[in-house]
Amino acid sequence: MSKKHILVISQYFYPEQFRINDMCAEWVKRGYKVTVLTGYPNYPEGKYYDGYGWFKRTRQRWNGVNIIRIPLTARGQGSVKLALNYFSFVISGFLWAWTTHIKADYVFTFEVSPMTQALIGTWYSKRRKIPNYLYVQDLWPENVEIVTGIHSPLVIKPIEAMVNHIYKHCDVIFATSPSFVKEIQKRVKHNKQKVKYLPQYAEEFYKPVERKPVPEIPDDDSFKIIFTGNIGKAQGLDILPKTAKLLKGKEKVKFVIVGDGRDKDNFLKQIADNGVQDMFIMIDRQPPERIPELLAACDAAFISFMPDPLFEKTIPAKLQSYMACGMPIIAAATGETKRIVEGSKCGLCSDIGNVAELEKNIKQLIHSCDMDQMSKVSGQYYISHFNKNKIMSYIDSYYR
């Protein structure tokens, strides 16, 4: 019996760091043949990685996964370049979907923005008459409005029509939070049962490790709060320089920021404008395998969002990574994130943008909380609710 063949559509893939990398490697281990259709790596900085670009390394093999790279414009800076990035991938994907000789048994689209990439899966599955699965990480058109600031019906209505078309032509839609499930079900009113909750998991290297000094983080008596990941507007990190200003001279606190992104320069300016450069440790984007040791060198992990109703419905992927490593959580978040953090008792939440409340919670962590207990329940909650084997086996049930 030949191996079942999964075609994965993902605009982002290795060496870009997204969970779909691990999912594909796991499918290979489980006996599937896996082909990934992706673009040239350029996230999050917006420029092509060294050695990649137009017609360079268009075929690769990584951990048993066959990678096909199709042309796309790098994200660059600004909304025009971002739009070109989104549309160039889907145009290349259209040509590929209707001309390729590759035959797969299933299509699985990993949808972080842009949703446009899911069109490729609908085209290919229609041509080959095979099941089409979609894993929704970002809700559209809501995410478009946040990123671009555009709310005009002339723009949003066509995007809504596209989203509805994609959902209609999917056999199963997986969504990363219960709130996402409810929102998507509003768009598939006559077939709500095809929308399933499928939380994200953290890769297996995310696990508690022994605390030890690392070169980038001073081994001193300051209380260290770490953030890892993309530095963009959606992450709402502007709350940290303001909070640091309130804490300056009162508490020994350092904020460790690990990552890069389109808003990094602006974030650094905010730190300087608030006069708190001495309270921030900036570390460039690291291989994900290094993140557990960086987390272990700190006392709590930070999550925040910019103010928008969409983020009440979101469970950010970094939450699973933090909890898998047994980190106490300090968050400026509401909705799903608040439900998990407060429900598990692994940390403290303040409202998005509430600087005074975040300052109060940081002081509470330093002086009043049982950090060892928070660490323990954080890891226990992860094992109970975000188990990789259980999640991947659930997806397997649709590949029969």
Note the pLDDT tens digit of each residue in 257-299.
999 988 899 999 999 999 999 999 999 999 999 999 999 999 9
Compute the distance between CA of residue 328 and CA of residue 336 in angstroms, rounded to an integer.
Answer: 17
**102-112 mean pLDDT:** 97
Is 210 among the domain residues?
no
Pair 115, 246 in one domain: no
Backbone angles phi, psi at 358, to 5 degrees: -65, -45
Compute the distance between CA of residue 300 and CA of residue 347 in angstroms, rounded to an integer.
Answer: 9
Alpha-carbon 309 to chain mean position: 18
- Per DSSP, 305 falls in state -
- What CATH number corresponds to the domain at position 149? 3.40.50.2000
- Of 198, 213, 245, the position where a domain reaches its end is 198
Q: Residue 91: name the closest of 153, 162, 157, 39 by CA.
A: 39
Alpha-carbon 223 to chain mean position: 26
Pair 228, 192 in one domain: no
**304-322 mean pLDDT:** 91
The structural domain count of the chain equals 2
What is the Cβ-side half-sphere exposure of residue 93, based on CA atoms within 13 angstroms? Answer: 29
Pair 235, 144 in one domain: no
* Helices 239-247 and 355-367, packing angle to 10 deg: 60
Backbone angles phi, psi at 79, to 5 degrees: -70, -30
Is 254 among the domain residues?
yes
Pair 154, 259 in one domain: no
Greatest alpha-carbon span in the chain: 68
CB-CB contact of 252 with 223 (8 Å): yes
Answer whether 0.75 is exceeded by the pTM.
yes
Per-residue b/e over 159-180, b at no fewer than 16 CB within 10 Å?
beebbeebbebbebbbbbbebb
3-state secondary structure of 239: helix
Residue whose tokens read 């980038």: 216
188-231 residue pLDDT tens: 988 999 999 999 999 999 999 999 989 999 999 999 999 999 99
Is 213 among the domain residues?
no
Pair 273, 338 in one domain: yes
Pair 23, 97 in one domain: yes
Pair 253, 380 in one domain: yes
Pair 246, 131 in one domain: no
CB-CB contact of 225 with 300 (8 Å): yes
Pair 239, 380 in one domain: yes
**181-189 mean pLDDT:** 94
Res. 241: pLDDT tops 80: yes
Range of the domain at 193: 5-198
Look at residue 83 in the predicted model and tell me its pLDDT: 86
Mean per-residue pLDDT over the chain, rounded = 93
Sign of the alpha-carbon dihedral angle for 174, 203, 240, 338:
positive
Pair 312, 173 in one domain: no
- Kindly report whether the peptide bond that precedes residue 71 is cis, defined as omega within 30 degrees of 0: no
Res. 35: pLDDT tops 80: yes
